[in-house]
Structure 1
Amino acid sequence: MSASSPLRASTYHRYYDKYYPHHIELLEDLIRGVSLALPGRFEDADLCSQTLISVLNLFLLHHTHLLARRRSEKDESFVFNKHIQAYYRSHWPSKAASLALSIISYTEVVFELLLHRRISSKSRRWRWIVGIEGIKAVLRLVLFFRSGKRTVIHPTHLVRNTDPCTFESNVTDKLELATLDPRTGTPSTANPRLLTASTTVSSTMPRQGWALFGEIVWIIRPVVYAFMVMNTLRRGSHKVVEQSEDEEETEKDDENDWKPWLVSLCIDLLARTARSMQPTSALEQDEYKRRDYLLLYYLLRGPVYNLFTRRILEVFCDASEHRPLVSILATALNDYRPFWEQSYFYTAGS
């Protein structure tokens, strides 16, 4: 028994290294394809699709952890993973915070869709949303201060920007992270600079002065927005009840007030201005580009969506419904509109 145990372990590890990554990659592609094809196909298809995406993201997170652990000693990680290893996985508080933040970000949309089906009171639903945003803000603050006041980058876990069958970097081949966008289910695209750049971990400098202020207000911004929406609903709860008896409400009526939208946008722009007052590394610049892209979500939130964006989308979809090629885009928009109309987190930018 004792002599055969090392042999069995060696055989298992050889099989693991040779076949496990390939099998997992096939399963990832299968689940991804199913999740993208589900929206709009049947009742509760949106919930099924988002559940599959969440499960796939968690599965990929575990898969990447296994692959990284198998070659942790000889891995020449690129800059992103070096940063994660140095600041988010070196001590247990940071490690726990980064893992919790990743899990929440991959499951929050599903959780909110379930809230819509279980809780009829909008103010109670937004109380849960404020709580989730508060937890995320606390976790980000933990990462921010435990990393020496360095910019909180996304995602907060190791990524597999590699060929999953070899776990070796391949800059010229397709670049695919081991995570999907929890909102769209499509793979994130890495910045090739971060694979080959000679940037060191020490080049990400602590935030100071206005840059420090900008990072903190960016972290708490989602909490402020959700809290203001919740208070708006509380003050107008009697009006909502009266309207619901006569006409069907739209899902985005929860955020149909200019004040939370404008305050949130001002905080985002203030944080953007403040962070520019300190030099940044390539890794931080990549993170800031991602945050700038998230500003587009303001077109899908609040009164701007109800008054402008929704009408533009409806006109476009109606006009292109029977036109070749363009109708494919219109169909996709109609299939995915329920996501950003029913879910705050889908367009939260947090």
Structure 2
Amino acid sequence: MAVSGSDISPKSDESESTTSTSATSESVDASSQSSYIGIAPAPRPDIPSPLEINNKDYSVNRTRCMNGMNNPSPKRAGTSSWLAVYESFLLKNASQIASVESTLQHLTYLFPGKFKDAEIASEVVYSALGILGLYHDTILAHALSSSAFSSKYQPSLHTRYTRHFATRNTSYKSTAYTLVVIQKTQLLIEIMSRKYGGQRGQRTAIVGIESIKAACRLALFRISGSRTVLTPPIPEREIDPNLLDPDDPTEPFANPNDDDLEYWTMPRTGQKLPQLNADSDVTQFLMKKVLLPEDVVAAPKLAHPLTTVDGRIKEILYILRPLLYALLALLASRLRESGRFKGKQSRRIINWMPWIIGFALEYICKDGVIGSLSSEGGIRTALTKLTGLEKLELDKRSKSMWWWVLRGQFYESITKPVLDKLIKKTENIPLLNLVGLYVGDYQYLMETYHFASTY
């Protein structure tokens, strides 16, 4: 049946009047309640309809709502839960981490020569503490980055550089940590290989370990863009664990000398300026207040890439020098055992050959970055272009040259007679005879094991 427009007009008028009336009432209510809108709570989010989600998911969400979202169901006990408990315990007792680790490491120095297989027990404890220390470093670094004091912490150049590659390149991180773990366990592996494989097994283990370390360093050299391989290649612990102790009332990263400063008030502006004591170092104080170019540049620019062939060859030879020294020592031992060279002069040349070649390689190739930068303007220009990180690395390499005093034929011909005389002169002197006793115990390690005098 058709419906005319006159039939629906009264209804529309009535609806319009009703709408206008409701609008008027709503405006009155809005005006009367306008003062409460600003403090009204946020509307409750709508619960999804069962038609929009699966029945299983809805039942799970309903169960969670009934149980309370702030009290989730406990996780199953497993490895992750135990690690979480250990990490929380570690952070709550952060002030004791460094003291406990150092105490246990110093106790390992008392083991050699005191009982049978003492070197094995000493190295097991030392290696385990070294690996555990790496895990502690990662926990402390993560806690520091997520704490409120991370903005006040200024990492060193070494930490900035190694953290950049470790966080952005998984290959660098895995290779670097593999290298560090091998360095912390290499002496233990050598001791065990000698115990169960004799001298032949010991020599094989030495060459194998040095080969793996050289491969890791070459991989780091390539991943970093042909830059100098740092020692160590991972971030080190630079902060005191006491700073992360929540029960410590002192403010972290505060300068303890700031409280002792006397301030002078400027008469016109009223600004206070610190006055240093007579014994204070003005340069050191000012360097803490300014930013250097190395503090703001990108982390990869803290080390120059080795662009010249001379610089790359020097760095590669420096990386391979421990492996070459181990191979030369193995060759010299086999030549001595063969009995072909019975002359005194020939045997002296064979004995000194590994030490001389190894020392010469390390001395010539330790500054490959200087050889790379000197191609543009000489050595003086290269020295001015060195960054602070490269200077620190070259300083470490120069100090590590002292290890050659305890290696090879130099130790047998020069260092050992001096130590023997020192021990003999102090054996009847109280307290000093204990020092001589421990030096004698470590002489056995240096004379027997290759990695006892390496880093």
Instruction: Name the TM-score, length of structure 1 as normaliser.
Output: 0.79
Match of 2:203 in 1: 126
Q: In structure 2, do the counterparts of structure 1 residues 12 and 54 end up closer, same or farther at CA, with 3 Å as the change threshold?
A: closer
Instruction: Give the total of aligned pairs.
Output: 314
1:286 aligns with 2:364: no
Q: Deviation of residue 151 (structure 1)? A: 1.1
Match of 1:38 in 2: 111
* Gaps in structure 2 of 5+ consecutive residues: 1-66, 76-80, 245-251, 258-283, 341-346, 374-384
1:343 aligns with 2:343: no
1:163 to 219, 227, 240: 240
CA distance in 2, matches of 1:234, 1:121: 12
**How do 1:202-241 residues align onto structure 2 when only pairs under 5 Å count?**
202-209=301-308, 210-239=310-339
CA distance in 2, matches of 1:145, 1:171: 40
1:295 aligns with 2:401: yes
2:437 to 314, 325, 331: 331
CA distance in 2, matches of 1:320, 1:265: 32
SS at 1:61 equivalent: helix
Which stretch shows the higher mean deviation, 316-325 or 66-75?
66-75
2:190 to 84, 93, 112: 112
Which stretch shows the higher mean deviation, 318-327 or 259-268?
318-327
CA distance in 1, matches of 2:194, 2:255: 43
SS at 2:168 equivalent: coil
Deviations 1:81-100 (A, max 9, x none): 11111123421111110010
* Gaps in structure 1 of 5+ consecutive residues: 174-191, 241-252
Q: In structure 2, do the counterparts of structure 1 residues 221 and 34 end up closer, same or farther at CA, with 3 Å as the change threshold?
A: same
**How do 1:14-25 residues align onto structure 2 when only pairs under 5 Å count?**
16=89, 19-25=92-98
CA distance in 2, matches of 1:26, 1:103: 22
1:92 aligns with 2:170: yes
CA distance in 2, matches of 1:14, 1:111: 29
CA distance in 1, matches of 2:231, 2:255: 21
Q: In structure 2, do the counterparts of structure 1 residues 172 and 161 end up closer, same or farther at CA, with 3 Å as the change threshold?
A: farther
Deviations 1:79-130 (A, max 9, x none): 21111111234211111100100100000011111111111243x4222211
CA distance in 2, matches of 1:224, 1:140: 14
Q: In structure 2, do the counterparts of structure 1 residues 18 and 321 end up closer, same or farther at CA, with 3 Å as the change threshold?
A: same
Q: In structure 2, do the counterparts of structure 1 residues 169 and 97 end up closer, same or farther at CA, with 3 Å as the change threshold?
A: farther
SS at 1:71 equivalent: helix
Q: In structure 2, do the counterparts of structure 1 residues 347 and 17 end up closer, same or farther at CA, with 3 Å as the change threshold?
A: closer
Which stretch shows the higher mean deviation, 19-28 or 210-219?
19-28
Deviations 1:139-174 (A, max 9, x none): 11111111111111111222111111325557879x
Larger Rg: 2
Q: In structure 2, do the counterparts of structure 1 residues 163 and 274 end up closer, same or farther at CA, with 3 Å as the change threshold?
A: closer
Deviations 1:268-320 (A, max 9, x none): 12203544333422222122222112211222111111122111110111011
Q: Deviation of residue 78 (structure 1)? A: 2.4
Match of 2:221 in 1: 144
Q: Is the 8 A contact 1:88 1:147 kept in 2?
A: no
SS at 2:366 equivalent: helix
Which stretch shows the higher mean deviation, 308-317 or 326-335?
326-335
CA distance in 2, matches of 1:314, 1:14: 48
Q: Deviation of residue 45 (structure 1)? A: 1.7
Q: Deviation of residue 63 (structure 1)? A: 0.4
CA distance in 2, matches of 1:87, 1:130: 29
Task: Letter of the 1:285 partner, please give it.
Answer: K
Which stretch shows the higher mean deviation, 273-282 or 113-122?
273-282
Identical aligned residues as a percent: 22
Task: Letter of the 1:90 partner, please give it.
Answer: R
CA RMSD after TM alignment: 3.2
